[in-house]
Structure 1
């Protein structure tokens, strides 16, 4: 993420004028290319969801827990009883039950799942959202290429939200924040999902606002002219795009008051649900990559109570997103990726919880570019191992790229002068789910 610290480092204190507080997040490019055929919404389950209680239940086994399975609209394809709306979209979903990854630490696993790499060495690996939005976005439109909604704003040593060597032009615009330990719920959470300081102060009219932006642009260009680097060039572009957004109708995509209260309520009174509504609004306006975070999945204790509550928010928000995208003719062009950093132990611990478990878990792909109605991979009866079609992180990310029409072996030049593939060449895409 491109924040004030990066701005001061690159541009110097002389440019830290009042506008820098809100202009910085717009360092990424805008994207509303009408010719773009695909969008991607990443539903990130922060904390590591218990997929054995959601997508790969083990009824009758001591590891299975108390939840029951229900039939989706695809014969033989069953999921949790607490996901009834999503069950109606089984034909649009591919459940990958063979996920097997290597990291059980939140920070390292989040970094790996979002970059395809382990956090080591001198290379600044970019987030998959930055990589994808670079490929299918546009640098000339008025909305960001990559918007991250309700993310957990804690800066790890290895930031999984970073654009890495792609640079600040491909950083996400961060909207709203989440709590790591629970999913916020209540009335008017949609008010948190706005771009701060987007409008001019009431005391500044349009003429004076334009003059100030012109002055700021001159100062920035003078600074960049004496220091011709990729970072300073990025700042010039960021100011131009931010100014364009200020005067554009495109910014209305972030104005949730444009939605009727009843329509907002259909997504549920949770931050995640309202984030799904905002994601739909952004995709409608042509934003190519949107991430929506849902927290509260780190269920070491009282797993089943938390998962049941979280499932209600998940089913309402994601389910209504699927309904709206389908009604608007956007579901077939919008890829939805559901995943967290790992799964949770099949064995139930003494606190009636489940612990971190990357060995055998599940992710879900839905919508555009996906052949739905499929379950790929199989875990053992006790859920501890993958018995068929083991899928690792890079396999998943390469599959996502394939569904979006992106060559996952395409290379970008890294910060150490070495070309790096979007996804490692060892990846084996799950081609049977790609349409």
Structure 2
């Protein structure tokens, strides 16, 4: 309740309303806003990151250049917001633009997949070997996750990362590490393998026997933990505790996508990304604070958006997977009253060169590219920043990774200037110094 009073109306405001009501003064115009704000307080905040492995081409998705040779063959289409146009291959997302904000002026100095991934998922430039920075998922889940949730507060789906372990908890420790759910099939008839195996007791083991086994294991673990403080022992214990909690609860049913109507699953798309977005909705609905869904493979291409060759064929195929999954996710969240409490972040590690190479592809380009924020408190229907007519440089409002992270934190009601402590007791800012939230989106 404190956050409500601090951010929207003070206790003095409520006292004034009460007193005025007693004197017969009407504040009926305020009541819908107050009721909405109060209702929002009961909803857990959540964040879903749609991670585009390889770096998506901004000039073929959200920042087309139709009047320049760098633009390529894709056409622009109008969206639900007059004046904002995006790729013809994202028609369903075009209808969602009122709840979306495009940042067309992201820029970094990291054009390497691994370094760019580390920067965009931790907020810190790579190179400090002494500190393993936590991922955005670990940072957010630590701040807004529910400690009594039967599910982990950070779940990562179908990830392929150029930087190993970059989506981990870093110095925050295993308590804030993600539950990683992966799959190796795009079979349309399957559940895309987005399930957790081995959550049932072995055949012939009844619940009482299982509980006794768990008690014995906990006793042995506690004895071992008393003799060692190693990180590997702590990690093993934390992971096992989470697994046991899921085995003993109904939380495991969150992963049973077959419980969903077939028509809805079809709308998301019968592929790993589409079913991952559906699972993200199910997890958020059950109180999970942070879910990462990666679009990292289409037609057996494990690096998805890394389109150095045949860019336009591949981006069209990727867009045909992205468009129904993301737009259905927003519709599904909206219909369940969850979109206004769930922030969606669409991003990759960098963009692609506006100049088309000799292989019909686009190469790495960190100099000016696009990310998109949607849902939550984001003020949609906006475009932040702009690139030049040829797409080669930013001409308005450069946005850094620090700014993006500050905006995400502010949208989730997290103080961007708060600090965590390394294992050595060193205070480390959640957001690297110098980032500012984009006021137009969250102010």
TM tier, shorter chain? 0.7 to 0.9
**1:137 corresponds to which residue?**
145
**2:160 corresponds to which residue?**
152
Cα distance between partner residues in 2 of 1:249 and 1:426: 44
Residues 1:161 and 2:167 aligned together = yes
Q: TM-score, normalised by structure 2?
A: 0.86
Residues 1:394 and 2:402 aligned together = yes
CA shift in 2, pair 1:230/1:432, >3 Å: same
**2:124 corresponds to which residue?**
117
Q: TM-score, normalised by structure 1?
A: 0.88
Cα distance between partner residues in 2 of 1:208 and 1:427: 54
CA shift in 2, pair 1:219/1:323, >3 Å: same
* Structure 1, unaligned runs of 5 or more: 1-33, 179-183
1:55 alignment partner, SS class: coil
**2:176 corresponds to which residue?**
170
Deviation, structure 1 residue 268: 0.9
Residues 1:215 and 2:201 aligned together = no
Moved more, 282-291 or 206-215: 206-215
1:326 alignment partner, SS class: helix
Residues 1:97 and 2:107 aligned together = no
Residues 1:56 and 2:63 aligned together = yes
**2:346 corresponds to which residue?**
338
Deviation, structure 1 residue 155: 6.2
**1:205 corresponds to which residue?**
206
**1:27 corresponds to which residue?**
none
Moved more, 191-200 or 282-291: 191-200
- 8 Å CA contact retained: 2:146, 2:287: no
Cα distance between partner residues in 2 of 1:173 and 1:69: 39
**1:43 corresponds to which residue?**
50
Cα distance between partner residues in 1 of 2:286 and 2:86: 32
**2:24 corresponds to which residue?**
none
Residues 1:365 and 2:373 aligned together = yes
Moved more, 136-145 or 189-198: 189-198
Q: CA RMSD in A?
A: 1.7
Cα distance between partner residues in 1 of 2:187 and 2:233: 42
Deviation, structure 1 residue 202: 1.6
In the TM superposition, what are the counterparts of 1:20-35 in structure 2 within 5 Å?
A: 35=42
**2:15 corresponds to which residue?**
none
Moved more, 227-236 or 82-91: 227-236
**2:314 corresponds to which residue?**
306
Cα distance between partner residues in 2 of 1:35 and 1:431: 25
Deviation, structure 1 residue 118: 1.9
Moved more, 285-294 or 111-120: 111-120
- 8 Å CA contact retained: 1:167, 1:231: no
Which protein shows a greater Rg?
Answer: 2
1:272 alignment partner, SS class: helix
* Number of aligned residue pairs: 395
Deviation, structure 1 residue 38: 1.1
Cα distance between partner residues in 2 of 1:107 and 1:282: 28
CA shift in 2, pair 1:238/1:373, >3 Å: same
Deviation, structure 1 residue 93: 0.5
- 8 Å CA contact retained: 1:151, 1:177: no
- 8 Å CA contact retained: 1:42, 1:338: yes
Query: Per-residue CA shift, 1:111-134, capped at 9, x if unaligned?
Result: 000011122220110001000000
2:226 alignment partner, SS class: helix
* Structure 2, unaligned runs of 5 or more: 1-40, 297-303
1:338 alignment partner, SS class: strand
1:192 alignment partner, SS class: coil
**2:359 corresponds to which residue?**
351
Residues 1:239 and 2:247 aligned together = no
Cα distance between partner residues in 2 of 1:228 and 1:386: 49
- 8 Å CA contact retained: 2:115, 2:163: no
Deviation, structure 1 residue 188: 3.0
Query: Per-residue CA shift, 1:98-121, capped at 9, x if unaligned?
Result: 111110110000000001112222
1:369 alignment partner, SS class: coil
- 8 Å CA contact retained: 1:395, 1:430: yes
- 8 Å CA contact retained: 1:124, 1:414: no
**1:24 corresponds to which residue?**
none
Cα distance between partner residues in 1 of 2:161 and 2:353: 27
**2:17 corresponds to which residue?**
none
Query: Per-residue CA shift, 1:389-422, capped at 9, x if unaligned?
Result: 1001111111100110000110000134311011
1:312 alignment partner, SS class: helix
- 8 Å CA contact retained: 2:312, 2:361: yes
Cα distance between partner residues in 2 of 1:188 and 1:209: 33
- 8 Å CA contact retained: 2:192, 2:271: no
